[in-house]
Amino acid sequence: MNEVTMVEKEVNKKCLAIVMFGPATPVSGTRPAEYYQVTIDPALRSKSGEYIRFGLNKSDEIHGWQKVSSMTVCEVLKTFEGEVPETLDKQEGSISMRFIE
């Protein structure tokens, strides 16, 4: 299996994102409830920057302080300033998914 390439990136704006605990691996996503939607707000970090607070927005699926080094951002859904949007923008088109035949 191929390795998953990960890089460090700065988050300097609020964003809605899909995250997971731990590093991504080639078999990530094979267990249920492995991915979560959260609001990443750079203003909600600890003084040391080692922890971030989730759960202050009603769409967050993780609550409380989490260790930043234990989280992986899989995809940023939307960046914004101000209040968290109630819903995401709907996407046009289709998506390919695996089905049992």
Quote the pLDDT of residue 39: 92
How far is residue 51's CA from residue 101's CA, in Å, rounded to a whole number? 44
Task: Compute the residue count for the chain.
Answer: 101
For 68, the 3-state DSSP assignment is helix
Q: What's the mean per-residue pLDDT of the chain?
A: 82
- Read off the pLDDT of residues 20-34 as tens digits, 9 standing for 90 and up: 998 877 777 777 778
The residue type found at 49 is G
| pLDDT > 90: percent of the chain | 24
97 vs 74, residue with greater confidence: 74
- Read off the pLDDT of residues 51-65 as tens digits, 9 standing for 90 and up: 999 998 888 999 999
How far is residue 3's CA from residue 64's CA, in Å, rounded to a whole number? 31
Quote the pLDDT of residue 98: 53
Tokens of 58: 């009603």
How far is residue 37's CA from residue 57's CA, in Å, rounded to a whole number? 11
Q: For residues 38 and 19, is the Cβ–Cβ distance under 8 A?
A: yes
pTM: 0.80
